[in-house]
Amino acid sequence: MTMEPHEYHEALAQLAWQVELGADEAIGVVAVDRYEEKTKPAVVAKTVEKQPDAVVETPPDPSGVTAELAAGCGDLEALRAALEGFDGCALKRGARNTVFSDGNPAARVMIIGEAPGRDEDIQGKPFIGRSGQLLDKMLAAIGLSRNAEAPEDAVYITNVLPWRPPQNRDPLDEEKAVMKPFLMRHIELVKPQVLLLVGNPSNQVLLETNQGVTRLRGQWREAAGIPALSIFHPAYLLRTPAKKREAWADLLMLKARLDEG
Ligand code: URA
């Protein structure tokens, strides 16, 4: 397509304006009028054809479809495949990758974060952007690593949601509800000794509470029948470095528990 010089400059100005408004990437070829979309009836994502640019809503899971699907997964590879083939969560349509996990499935510690961000969406692995780098440093401070082979030094990492929410918005209640059976099955298959619940969404889903980490941290609780510790999300710690002191205390609690064997 050839452009007149004035068209080129107009397009450039429009792009600059969008960047100014916060657009940081292109996720579809066709522009979507979100105001227009709001007036359309909600679409049941489970049965709808793939429409990358359509705005759809994730329905709740009253029939227990995801529970049944998840329960049928006999190992982690089956669970990964089930997620990759699952079309019942609208987030998947805007995502580049299904972000399943990273680390060592034999680890004693399983870390549950929130949802992939931009870097994770591109690379298909959890916690590899800025907050992931901080998480790695925090873990290294107590002798743990996602790359360790020995289960006692290793961690296994996943998220409440395997797909990036648009503009990194918080996961919606219905998204968390639909995906929860997959997460529960994931935990069952890994059978960790302890869970580290990173940030509010994983705490809300697994401890079934509306309380945030500020309230929940500092004591061992139980999630999915496993001892669980709540800790601030590294993205929050990057914005609020004064909270690192509390996060450090929580890491030491984790280390003390692991040292007990
Ligand atoms: N934040 C999360 O909670 N998970 C990721 O994978 C990346 C950022």
What domains are defined for the chain? 63-260 (3.40.470.10)
Tokens of 179: 């995906």
Find out whether the beta carbon of 100 lies less than 6 Å from any atom of ligand 1. no
**What was the pLDDT predicted at 220?**
98
Q: From the CA of 160, how far away is ligand 1's center (Å)?
A: 9
Q: Is the CB of 61 under 6 A from ligand 1?
A: no
pLDDT of residue 103 exceeding 60, the answer is yes
| Rounded Cα–Cα distance for residues 218 and 205 (Å) | 18
Q: Which helix (H) or strand (E) holds 95?
A: none
Kindly indicate the confidence band of residue 8, based on its pLDDT and cuts at 50, 70 and 90.
Answer: low
Q: Going by C-beta distance under 8 Å and a sequence separation of 6 or more, which residues neighbour residue 9?
A: none
Sign of CA dihedral 73, 75, 78, 79: positive
19-38 tens-digit pLDDT: 555 566 665 555 666 555 55
Residue 67 has pLDDT above 60, yes or no: yes
Residue 126 Cβ contacting ligand 1 at under 6 Å: yes
Determine the atom of ligand 1 nearest the C-alpha atom of 125.
Answer: 6
Q: Which range has the worst mean pLDDT, 52-61, 118-127, 157-166?
A: 52-61
Q: What is the pLDDT of residue 51?
A: 42
As a whole number, mean pLDDT of residues 154-175 equals: 97
pLDDT band at 261; cut points 50, 70, 90: confident
103 is written with which tokens?
């680390």
- The packing angle between helices 244-260 and 130-141, to 10°, is 50
Q: What is the pLDDT of residue 44?
A: 38
Would you say residue 181 has pLDDT above 70?
yes
Which of 236, 66, 17 shows the shortest CA–CA distance to 138? Answer: 236
Place of tokens 């002191």: 245
> Is 200 touching ligand 1 by the criterion CB < 6 Å?
no
What's the CA-to-centroid distance between 159 and ligand 1, angstroms?
7
Contact in structure between 230 and 114 (CB atoms under 8 Å): no
Do 144 and 155 form a contact (C-beta atoms < 8 A)? yes
For the CA of 201, the nearest atom of ligand 1? 3
**Nearest atom in ligand 1 to 234's CA:** 1
Distance CA 172, CA 57 (A): 10
> Average pLDDT for residues 144-167, to the nearest whole number?
98
Could you identify the atom of ligand 1 that is nearest to the CA of residue 159? Answer: 4
Q: What is the pLDDT of residues 198-210, one digit of tens each?
A: 999 999 999 999 9
Cα separation, 118 vs 24, in Å, equals 10
Tell me, in angstroms, the distance from the centre of ligand 1 to residue 98's CA. 13
Most confident of the ranges 44-58, 61-75, 235-249: 235-249
Within the chain, what is the greatest distance between any pair of CA atoms?
72
